[in-house]
C-alpha cells in the first residue's frame, strides 16, 4: 500500500509560522492546477480540514463535491465556493450513503477521488473509556469507520472505473496519531481511527490489482472546531492551520493521480 503521509508536528508542539508569503511564491513556481478535471468527494466539507480541502482542491482545478450534515452550512459553503456541489447527509447514517453517492456520481458521471474526512470525537467532553457511554463509542465507530467503509463500497465501482480509465481512483482516509498512540480520554476516537487506519491498509492491499490507491493521512493537531471540542483550552497558536494540512493532502492526491495517469498504472499495481 502507499505509505501514509506523515505530517510534521503530530503533537501539540507544532510551531505556527505564517508562511503564506512563502506559499504564494511556491504557487507561482509550481503547477497550481495539477488536479484539473479530477472529480473529488470530500466528507465533512463545511468545517475545519474538510472546509480547507474544498478550497484547496477547487483552487487546483478539481471538481469538488462535499458532504456535511447541516443544510444551512452546506448551502453557505457551496455559495462561497462557486462550482462546487454541496450534498446534505450524515456519513454515520446507513440510509444516507447511497443517496450521497447517487448525487455525487450523478453530478459529473463519476468520482475519481474520495476523501473520508468527516469525524466524530465520541464522547464530548472527552472521557476515559470507563466513563464513555456505549452510544458515544458507537457514534464514533459509525462516523469514523462504518461511514468510510460504506461510502468506499458504494463508490468503488466508480473509483475502479476511474483507475481503468487512467484518471484517478484514490481514497484518502483522514486518520490521527491517536490511531497509533494511546492517549487518555481519546479512547473511542483513537480506537475508531485505529480501525480506519487498518481498514485503509487492508483495502489498499485488496484493491491494488484494481489500480485503486488508498492513503491514510494524519493531518496533525489542527486549529479546528473538532479540536476545540476536544481541548477547549488549547493554545491555538501551537496548532497547525487546517489550510496547511489541506495543501499537504492535495499534494499527496496530485502525486497519486499523476501516477494513476501513467498507462501501466493498473497493471503495475496488479
Q: How many residues does the chain have?
A: 270
Answer for which of 114, 118, 158, 246 binds another protein (CB under 8 A) is 158
Exactly one of 129, 156, 231, 234 binds another protein (CB under 8 A); which one?
156
Kindly report the three-state secondary structure assignment for every residue of 101-114: HHHHHHHHCCCCEE
Comparing CB distances to another protein, the nearer of 33 and 206 is 206
* Catalytic site positions: 189
**Residue 149 lies near another protein (rule: CB under 8 A):** no
Which of 114, 154, 199, 217 is the binder for another protein (CB under 8 A)?
154
Calculate Rg over the CA atoms of the chain: 18
Sheet order of strands, 113-116 included: 5-6, 213-218, 170-174, 113-116, 39-43, 63-68, 85-88
Rounded Cα distance, 35 and 88, in Å? 24
CB closer to another protein out of 71 and 232: 71
- Number of residues binding to another protein, judged by CB under 8 A: 28
- Residues numbered 65 to 124 that lie near another protein (CB under 8 A) are 85, 87-88, 97-103, 105-107, 109-110
209: contact with another protein by CB under 8 A: yes
Cβ–Cβ under 8 Å, residues 172 and 5 = no
Cell of 34: 495539477
Chain residues that interact with another protein, rule: CB under 8 A: 85, 87-88, 97-103, 105-107, 109-110, 154, 156-158, 160-161, 164-166, 206, 209-210, 270
Amino acid at each position: 500500500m502507499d505509505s501514509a503521509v506523515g505530517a510534521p508536528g503530530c503533537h501539540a508542539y507544532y510551531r505556527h509560522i505564517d508562511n503564506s508569503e512563502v506559499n504564494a511564491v511556491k504557487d507561482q513556481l509550481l503547477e497550481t492546477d495539477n488536479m484539473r478535471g479530477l472529480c473529488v468527494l470530500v466528507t465533512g466539507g463545511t468545517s475545519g480540514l474538510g472546509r480547507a480541502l474544498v478550497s484547496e482542491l477547487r483552487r487546483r482545478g478539481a471538481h469538488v463535491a462535499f458532504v456535511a450534515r447541516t443544510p444551512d452550512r452546506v448551502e453557505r459553503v457551496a455559495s462561497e465556493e462557486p462550482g462546487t456541489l454541496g450534498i446534505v447527509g450524515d456519513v454515520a447514517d446507513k440510509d444516507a450513503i447511497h443517496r450521497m453517492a447517487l448525487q455525487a456520481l450523478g453530478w459529473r458521471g463519476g468520482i475519481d477521488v474520495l476523501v473520508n474526512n468527516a469525524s466524530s470525537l465520541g464522547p464530548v467532553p472527552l472521557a476515559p473509556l470507563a466513563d464513555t457511554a456505549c452510544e458515544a463509542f458507537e457514534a464514533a465507530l459509525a462516523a469514523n469507520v462504518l461511514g468510510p467503509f460504506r461510502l468506499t463500497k458504494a463508490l468503488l465501482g466508480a473509483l475502479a472505473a476511474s483507475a481503468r480509465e487512467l484518471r484517478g481512483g484514490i481514497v484518502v482516509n483522514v486518520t490521527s496519531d491517536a490511531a497509533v498512540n494511546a492517549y487518555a480520554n481519546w479512547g473511542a476516537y483513537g480506537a475508531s481511527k485505529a480501525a480506519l487506519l487498518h481498514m485503509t491498509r487492508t483495502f489498499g492491499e485488496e484493491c491494488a490489482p484494481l489500480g485503486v490507491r488508498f492513503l491514510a493521512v494524519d493531518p496533525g493537531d489542527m486549529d479546528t472546531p473538532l479540536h476545540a471540542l476536544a481541548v477547549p483550552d488549547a493554545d491555538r497558536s501551537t496548532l497547525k492551520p487546517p489550510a496547511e494540512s489541506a495543501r499537504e493532502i492535495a499534494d499527496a492526491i496530485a502525486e497519486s493521480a499523476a501516477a494513476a495517469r501513467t498507462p501501466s498504472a493498473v497493471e503495475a499495481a496488479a
